[in-house]
Structure 1
Amino acid sequence: MESLLRSRFQKSAVLIIGVILLGIAMVASVLYGIQNFRITTAIEAYTSFTGSNEHLIIQHTRVPRAITAAFVGGSLAVAGVLLQALTRNPLASPSVFGINSGAAFMIVIALFLFGSMFSFSQLMWVGFLGAGLTAMIVYMLGSAGRGGMSPLKVTLAGAAVAAFASSLTSLFMLIDNKTMEEALYWLVGSVSGRDLRHAQMIIPYLVGGWICAILLAGSLNLMALGDDVAKSLGQKIVWVKAGIVLVVVLLAGGSVALTGPIGFVGIMIPHICRYLVGFDHRWVIPYSVVLGGIFLLLADLVSRFLLMPEEVPVGVATAVIGVPFVIAIVRRRAHE
């Protein structure tokens, strides 16, 4: 498949345009919803704060929501790029590594055992821990046996661990109705109700993951040629794969800990980026950060208007958009 953008100038120009569109999408996220604001009102909320209802909504709801959506969208997209490169599976996403299921399982266990003793911030770290532990288990299972890690072994291990964690999660939720009510807030996937303080706890991990992913871009390009070729060119495949898993834990684990599982971003955006710039990960990763943020911001905006005056969780909106996209990918692969 030839990329739409071929020259470095074209790729750089479109990336800059994408950054501008990301900024516009963030502004739109702040201004529009059940209650609409003028841009002057948003500016006044920070330059001449009066404590009015409008200023409070902008500062404590809309701005944290926009920042969360931008960072989480970009992080899930990059995690999808890394997992698709690692497993060589075009439909790979954080759910393949069981990250979503592992985070949800740990949160449900914490709620089941300790109830409301855990604050929102503490549950975030519990989810982060669950995502990390699950990814490590999948990595060890996928690396066991002859030949070390292989795409098929990782995919099967991830599917098995995710199914097991999801089953246990459902069991504990059925045993305790109170746990089910509290856990549903995490399991749906939403960027609403997140405080800026919560985002600030996780964002450093997400940015660190972006930087590490960009540093791994050259190794990912070589791995695409096959493990044997990459080894012959001096790549330490085992360490590269371990690094990919660690970065995925930072990106996807941090995102799930902050917003709950939001599907399809990690599947769709990498394909769109590869269509635009080709398979060079030095371009695919920055494009994924920008387009992933734009996509989740727009999906969040759409979710506010689907069933007004009620808001639909953004995880539902991404699923509605993502399912036809995945079907199209599968149909295309079937005809290749």
Structure 2
Amino acid sequence: MTPVDTDRPPDAALVRRPARVRVLWLLVTVLVLAVLMVASVALGSRDVAWSDVWAALGGADDTLEQAAVAKRIPRTLLAVVIGAALGLAGGVMQGVTRNPLADPGILGVNMGASLTVVTAVAFFGLTSPTGYIWVAMAGAAVSAVFVYAVGSLGRGGATPLKLALAGTATSAAFASLVSAVVLPRNDIAGSFRLWQIGGVGGASYERIGQVLPFLVAGLVVCLLSARALNSLALGDELAAGLGERVAVARATAALGAVVLCGASTAVTGPIAFVGLVVPHTCRLLVGVDHRWLLPFSALVGASLLTAADVVGRIVARPADIEVGIVTALIGAPFFIHIVRRQKVREL
């Protein structure tokens, strides 16, 4: 992929952060995530006492309250791992393309993965959960290449706004296709609502176990690409001068991000804006060094999705608001702010 230069002046997000500041933010982030995980287990449509929470954490499910808490535990774990994956993928995508608007949802990657799974289930009888993941990763990869190719057309190449517009249009088209495939099929319409919205309500230990190896593989690839992304941020020519194999570095990092996006979507459906909001927030906290930025993006992404799930459960009791809706309400205004802040004028 050809990098995109936004030609914007340096700001507070680009200032190098001292190590002690980064360590402090690391401790704060871990503490916040721990608190949110406890809140996710304790809060929901049914009020439960802390004694029932501790009993359920110990394996008891003798009462309705304890059974409710027991169901929240895998839901919390799924929100943590998927939020971490999406936050990390967003940081990598922004680093690979040098595009401040890059996000798996905005660029249509998640919806492309969703469409391929729905199509495989409806027309080819796909039933294997592991098959969902492989198909979703293939769809995510094809969608990413397609959006980048469309966004590169015309004068100026792949500018941030052109990529965002191409991704948004592609995502909308894929969402319409998902509806067109699912709605006439009464046998799958109810169970496949998550492929249109995205949520963690159907979590189970089995589903987490199936997707975890793919997420770990994607996480390792992305984290190992951190040093290369630092070189790419200097520009292709300088990176090559420093001995970096630019094409290989960019392709490897992009592959890790696609694996994370595809595997996440296979389990939770398309959840947008986590990969946009999180890396920008983390740059304010720890600077632009990807060796710090990527792990922080994973932690903050886990915190954001867990918090969004808790909010979705308590604001509409006894019903749930899917986490994909909550993240959209958070991310859409942030997206508009980033576009205005970057002063991108070329359509």
Q: TM-score scaled to structure 2, two decimals? A: 0.84
Letter in 2 for 1:212: V
Q: Is the aligned partner of 1:247 residue 2:260?
A: no
User: Out of 38, 41, 44, which is 2:49 matched to?
Assistant: 38
Equivalent residues of 1:77, 1:265 under 8 A apart: yes
Deviation for aligned residue 1:157: 7.5
Choose the corresponding residue for 1:131, options 133, 137, 140.
Answer: 137
| Equivalent position of 1:64 in the other structure | 74
Residue number in structure 2 paired with 1:199: 208
Deviation at 1:94, TM superposition (A): 1.1
Count of residue correspondences: 328
Mapped contact 1:103–1:128 kept (Cα < 8 A)? no
Residues 178/22 of structure 1: CA separation in 2 closer, same or farther (3 Å cut): same
Aligned-partner Cα distance in 1 for 2:131–2:76? 21
Out of 1, 18, 29, the residue aligned to residue 7 of structure 1 is 18
Q: What whole-Å deviation, never above 9, does each CA across 1:34-89 have from its counterpart, x for those lacking one?
A: 11333332222243625322222222x20001101111111101100111112222
RMSD: 3.0
338, 343, 346: which one pairs with 1:334?
343
Q: Which amino acid aligns with 1:132?
A: A
Identity of aligned residues (%): 35
* Structure 1 residue 298: Cα displacement: 0.8
Q: Deviation at 1:293?
A: 0.8
Aligned partner of 1:281 in structure 2 is 290
> 1:77 is matched with which residue?
87
Q: Are 1:103 and 1:126, in contact at CA under 8 Å, matched by a contact in 2?
A: no
Does residue 28 in structure 1 map to residue 39 in structure 2? yes
Higher deviation after alignment, 47-56 or 210-219: 47-56
Contact 1:83–1:93 (CA<8 Å) still a contact in 2?
A: yes
Question: For the structure 1 residues 231 and 96, does the alpha-carbon distance in structure 2 shift closer, same or farther, using more than 3 Å as the test?
Answer: farther
Matched, 1:312 2:318: no
- The unaligned stretches of length 5 or more in structure 2 are 1-10
Worse-superposed segment, 184-193 or 288-297: 184-193
Structure 2 counterpart SS, 1:309: coil
2:108 aligned residue: 98
Per the TM alignment, residue 216 of structure 1 is displaced from its structure 2 partner at its CA by 0.9
2:110, 2:140 within 8 Å by CA — same for their partners in 1? no
Q: 1:270 aligns with which of 279, 287, 290?
A: 279
Deviation of 1:123 (Å): 4.6
What residue ranges of structure 1 are gaps of 5+ in the alignment?
A: none
Whole-Å Cα distance in 2 between the matches of residues 152 and 6 of structure 1? 29
Matches of 2:80 and 2:238, distance apart in 1: 37
Preserved CA contact (<8 Å) 1:31 1:42: yes
